[in-house]
Amino acid sequence: MKTKGLFDHINQITSVQNPDYWETLLDGDKKSFSNYMVHRFLSMKMEWVELVNELQKYKLQPKELYKLYINVLPKGKQWLKYIKRRNQMEYPNWLINIVSNDMEVSKQEANDNYAELYKKHEDELSHLMVQTISPTLDKIAEKVRELEPSLVIVDYIDLVDTPHNVRGEYEKIKYISHGLSSMAVNNDMIVIQVSQVSREYSRNEVLDLYAGKGSGAIENASRKVIGLNGQSNSATRAVRLFKNTDGELFDTEVEWTPSFRLRRV
């Protein structure tokens, strides 16, 4: 008998919801049930994001999580983005990139063997939590209070909304950057805010301390500013630390490899 995999479990949670399903599983079937992966795939349905985010806070056994989900989710065939394709499975980029980065394999290998590769490093990756929330500082602060993380990555700050009375690119970026900076200090955590390069600097192919959107706003609110620069036709990337309030600056080059690992050159 073929061992049941992740998508068998997802189908049971969403479409079948058999209360005795767990008792029918063999040990090999149970090993393929990953709480982390179940959360990730169920969160692809926007209506379930809030529920998934809430359940991720609790350390439940797989059997407990299965029972909980079948009791609260509506029963019926669900279309979860990225789960099905006409001829083969296609997995979301965040999952492929995590597996590819960690295992130093190609994206194709990660896509084809993601379940096996991920399981080998589940203990190292299970602490990561991807949150889909309304892009406002208030919502980010609410999640920080709820989850108490050590590190928050906002990708990217250009998408964070500001109040209607905050106008202009500089003022908007200033509002966001200072808000995130205060959040980091008040909650004793690290906040990494990702920003695009301003159009003017992009056209001139220049990257410096003031190249981020809202020139002057990001650097004023940040303790460190790092730039990553390069051309699409070259594997070489320049990594520069433009600002560092508690140490020295650096300037180095790395090689962008097919496995998405940066290697010093």
Strand partners, 4: none
Domains annotated for the chain, with CATH where assigned, are 6-125 (no CATH), 137-264 (3.40.50.300)
Q: What pLDDT is stored for residue 161 in this prediction?
A: 86
Per residue, the 3-state secondary structure of 209-235, as one string, reads CCCECCCCHHHHHCCEEEEEEECCCCC
- 236-244/224-230 β-pairing: antiparallel
Q: Which pLDDT belongs to residue 103?
A: 46
- Residue 66: its pLDDT value, please? 92
Phi and psi, residue 252, nearest 5°: -145, 170
pLDDT for 93: 58
Global pTM?
Answer: 0.51
The residue type of 193 is Q
b/e string for 89-113 if b means 16 or more Cβ within 10 A? Answer: eebbeebbebbbebbebebebbbbe
* Confidence (pLDDT) at 170: 81
* Residue-level pLDDT at 203: 66
C-alpha distances in angstroms, 95 versus 63, 87, 147, 150?
Answer: 23, 20, 21, 22
* Residues of the chain predicted below pLDDT 70: 1, 77-122, 124-126, 131-134, 198-206, 213-215, 257-265
Query: What pLDDT score does 20 carry?
Result: 93
- Specify whether the backbone of 76 is left (phi greater than 0), alpha (psi in -120 to 50) or beta: left
pLDDT of amino acid 217: 73
Give yes or no for a contact between 205 and 189, defined as CB atoms under 8 angstroms apart.
Answer: no
Contact by Cβ (8 Å): 3, 88: no
Query: The tokens of 62 are what?
Result: 């797989």
Task: Tell me how far apart the alpha carbons of residues 259 and 97 are, in angstroms, rounded to a whole number.
Answer: 9
The Cα–Cα gap between 65 and 184 comes to 32
